[in-house]
Amino acid sequence: MTENLLEVKNLHTHFFTENGVIPSVNGVSFSVKKGEVIGIVGESGCGKSVTSLSILQLINKPGKIVEGEIRFHEKDLTTFSEKEIRKIRGNKISMIFQEPLTSLNPVFTIGHQISEAIRLHQDVDKKEAKQRSISLLRKVGMANPERQYHAFPHLLSGGMRQRVMIAMALSCNPELLIADEPTTALDVTIQKQILKLMKNLSNELNTSIILITHDLGVIAEMVDRVVVMYGGEIVEENDVYSLFENPKHPYTKGLLNSTPKIHQLKEKLQSIEGNVPTPDQLPSGCNFQDRCPFAMDKCRELSPNLVASTDGSSVRCWLHQEKEVVNV
Amino acid sequence: MTQQVQKKQSLMKAPLLEVKELSKHFVVSTNLFGKPKESVKAVNGVNLSLKKGETLGIVGESGCGKSTMGNTILRLIEPTKGSIFFEGQDVLNMTSTQLQKMRKEVQMIFQDPFSSLNPRMRVFDIIAEPLRTHKAAVGKELQQRVYELLNLVGLDHSQANRFPHQFSGGQRQRIGIARAIALKPKLIVCDEPVSALDVSIQAQILNLLLELKEKLQLTLIFIGHGIPAVKYISDRIAVMYMGEIVEMADKESLFANTRHPYTQGLISAVPIPDPSLREVSEQVILEKDLPDQRNLPKGCSFYSRCPFATEKCKGQKPELKANEEGHLVACHYPLHA
């Protein structure tokens, strides 16, 4: 549990468009230990998906990783060639996307698609791959996997498709699973089934998971450690219990207060003023200053650093700057 | 105290909206003679009544018929069976002039603020359109009214000449709301108005709706699959499953004394944003997906997923019945009985 499986160091991913450079991810650093489940939470445009795509080197033109390292087992993935990264992608690190219908190929059976992933990375024949696919489908809770093996994606419901995606992602026993909003397109009852499935599999196979979501409820139920992102930067990082109990950054506080809670009596929801910024219209100084209720003059001029404190948390805010600087 | 009494008295009056045995069946395939062979029962015998000033929340999984019901109430879709009364008038047998008048009083807010605003129209014209159509205002008065509406939803009148794409999702939803309240309607059907928005913006829009409801004395039907949001805004909640209402009660009663196993499953599936409750929260996981709507089970529609189902449930359809407190449930063996 102590060894870092993945280390993202000072990642900058920018998009070079006709209208100028859009800095989607700006100096993100975090690490994932073996068997750990970490959550990245944030709103649209905060760079959470771009971060996950950067890890797998799936950033296409006009996007580019301009700076930073992504160390997986001590090796920097940003220096890998396309051929080398393909050996990692879908094998050691796999990914589940938000919309299961668009991420499955509609003209192949689901069995074909899972077998393909297996045969690509493992030296097995067709028959063996089929056997493994069927047992994976059974593992993710598909009823009658022998028959479903021959089903086309459109015949399955959203929850079933997401199970297929998980089966495919797990086909090579990955060490790290990146799940980008895996349940956002699903109903709550199905979401519960999928989350439980992911949790069980991670316990059973000791797979690390990076769970990307905007839903704090999902975070609270699933993860060990939380990274909160805003405007392409990490604004707070802490273990899940401390973060929910004692959020430090005003944005984290705002997010928690603006989430309606089912188990509490009605009190007025506190919303965060203003709008979610797109990466090309961030204010000067601290990214959050124009929406922050505690903004001071200093916040409008200078951008704060992410500061770690001794209890293992870190926060990027001028209100919490007395401690040592770790990351410039 | 007096306020509460007054509120009660106003609630005692005749319902604003009454829906009786409303059904909408979509024909999937027809036989040789053009008669329907298979149909999807999207809405199946729904009864509702809505008092003035009340907010009714409608929750359910996708495909349960909640949006179809909202559309049918506005007659955007013609129902197959049933009747709808708005202020005592039969909506389904209205002449077109009557219907046009009724449409002034019943408005809708849509889910997707990106596709529900015409990208080629300026915000001013989007909000002015209903006022022009119904000849509610012209000239200077129209301009003043549009500016007033923009102000009411928290936008600035200097933004009136912009196009929808120049706004963020939350701002666009505000424009949609301004358009909906332009004609001072009595009833607004909100079809998932916050599900496409970011968390911090959802709270803004929910608070705006609550504020406008007070200010303009609106009655709302709030359709949503995000149960915490529906709970926050509603007075009464109806739970739909496979085109039917399976439970309907005051918000407090629905959550404190849940009586239908489906509602219980639905509520316990909502992730709680508090990790310290991770282990304690009771978990009733609903297995399986929704059944095929083309051939629903003969008995209770929830039979195939219900953990407590018996032979009786398989053969006999439970009716929606109220207990002493007026808590309605359609189940042979309600919980907390």
Interface test with B, best of A262, A265, A272 (most B CBs within 10 A): A262
Q: What pLDDT shows up at residue B4?
A: 59
Could A260 and B206 be called an inter-chain contact, meaning their C-beta atoms sit closer than 8 Å? yes
- On the CB side of A174, CA atoms within 13 Å amount to 30
Please answer whether residues B183 and B130 qualify as being in contact, where contact means their C-beta atoms are separated by less than 8 angstroms.
Answer: yes
Could A157 and B201 be called an inter-chain contact, meaning their C-beta atoms sit closer than 8 Å? no
Could B270 and A256 be called an inter-chain contact, meaning their C-beta atoms sit closer than 8 Å? no
3 state DSSP class of B86: strand
> Which residues in chain A are contacts of B268 at CB distance < 8 A?
192
Q: What pLDDT shows up at residue B283?
A: 65
What confidence tier does B8 reach under pLDDT thresholds 50, 70, 90? Answer: low
Q: What pLDDT shows up at residue A107?
A: 93
What confidence tier does A16 reach under pLDDT thresholds 50, 70, 90? Answer: very high
Could B203 and A271 be called an inter-chain contact, meaning their C-beta atoms sit closer than 8 Å? yes
Instruction: For residue B255, give how far its alpha carbon lies from the nearest alpha carbon of chain A (Å).
Output: 9
Total number of residues shown for chain A: 328
Structure tokens at B281: 């929260």
Over 50: is that where the pLDDT of A326 sits?
no
Over 60: is that where the pLDDT of B11 sits?
no
Please answer whether residues B117 and B164 qualify as being in contact, where contact means their C-beta atoms are separated by less than 8 angstroms.
Answer: yes
Q: What pLDDT shows up at residue A288?
A: 93
Alpha-carbon Rg for chain A in angstroms: 21
> Which residues in chain B are contacts of A269 at CB distance < 8 A?
203, 206-207, 232
Distance, in Å, from the CA atom of A288 to the CA atom of A303, rounded to the nearest integer, reads 10
pLDDT tens per residue across span B119-174: 999 999 999 999 999 998 889 999 999 999 999 999 988 889 999 998 888 899 99
Could A254 and B200 be called an inter-chain contact, meaning their C-beta atoms sit closer than 8 Å? yes
Average pLDDT across chain A, whole number: 88
Which residue does chain A place closest to B291, by CA atoms? A157
Please answer whether residues A165 and A101 qualify as being in contact, where contact means their C-beta atoms are separated by less than 8 angstroms.
Answer: no
CATH superfamily label, A4-92+172-327: P-loop containing nucleotide triphosphate hydrolases (3.40.50.300)
ipTM summary value = 0.81
Which one-letter amino acid corresponds to residue A221? E
Instruction: For residue A260, give how far its alpha carbon lies from the nearest alpha carbon of chain B (Å).
Output: 5
Could A258 and B199 be called an inter-chain contact, meaning their C-beta atoms sit closer than 8 Å? yes
CA-based torsion, B154, B160, B164, B168: positive or negative? negative
Could B168 and A275 be called an inter-chain contact, meaning their C-beta atoms sit closer than 8 Å? yes
Which one-letter amino acid corresponds to residue A82? E
B226, B266, B276 member nearest A241 (Cβ): B276
Over 60: is that where the pLDDT of B30 sits?
yes
A190, A261, A266 member nearest B273 (Cβ): A261
> Which residues in chain B are contacts of A268 at CB distance < 8 A?
207
What confidence tier does A202 reach under pLDDT thresholds 50, 70, 90? Answer: confident
Please answer whether residues A41 and A237 qualify as being in contact, where contact means their C-beta atoms are separated by less than 8 angstroms.
Answer: no
Work out the average pLDDT over B102-109.
92
SS3 string, B1-38, reads CHHHHHHHHHHHCCCCEEEEEEEEEEEEEECCCCCEEE
- On the CB side of B115, CA atoms within 13 Å amount to 4
> Which residues in chain A are contacts of B285 at CB distance < 8 A?
189, 192-193, 196
What confidence tier does B332 reach under pLDDT thresholds 50, 70, 90? Answer: very high
CA-based torsion, B103, B104, B109, B113: positive or negative? positive
> Which residues in chain B are contacts of A190 at CB distance < 8 A?
61, 289
Which residue does chain A place closest to B273, by CA atoms? A217
> Which residues in chain B are contacts of A194 at CB distance < 8 A?
none
> Which residues in chain A are contacts of B272 at CB distance < 8 A?
217, 220-221, 261-263
Q: What pLDDT shows up at residue A328?
A: 41
Q: What pLDDT shows up at residue A266?
A: 60
Q: What pLDDT shows up at residue B6?
A: 57
pLDDT tens per residue across span B190-227: 998 988 888 888 899 999 999 999 999 999 999 988 89
**What residues contact B166, with CB distance under 8 A and at least 6 apart?**
none
Which residue does chain B place closest to A259, by CA atoms? B199
What confidence tier does B109 reach under pLDDT thresholds 50, 70, 90? Answer: very high
pLDDT tens per residue across span A303-312: 899 998 888 8
Domain boundaries defined on chain A: 4-92+172-327, 105-171
- On the CB side of B204, CA atoms within 13 Å amount to 23
pLDDT tens per residue across span A30-77: 999 998 999 999 988 889 989 999 999 998 888 999 999 999 999 999
**What residues contact A225, with CB distance under 8 A and at least 6 apart?**
A36, A37, A38, A39, A237, A238, A239, A240
Distance, in Å, from the CA atom of B332 to the CA atom of B317, rounded to the nearest integer, reads 8
Instruction: For residue A79, give how far its alpha carbon lies from the nearest alpha carbon of chain B (Å).
Output: 35
pLDDT tens per residue across span B234-276: 999 999 998 999 999 999 999 999 999 999 999 888 888 888 8
Total number of residues shown for chain B: 337
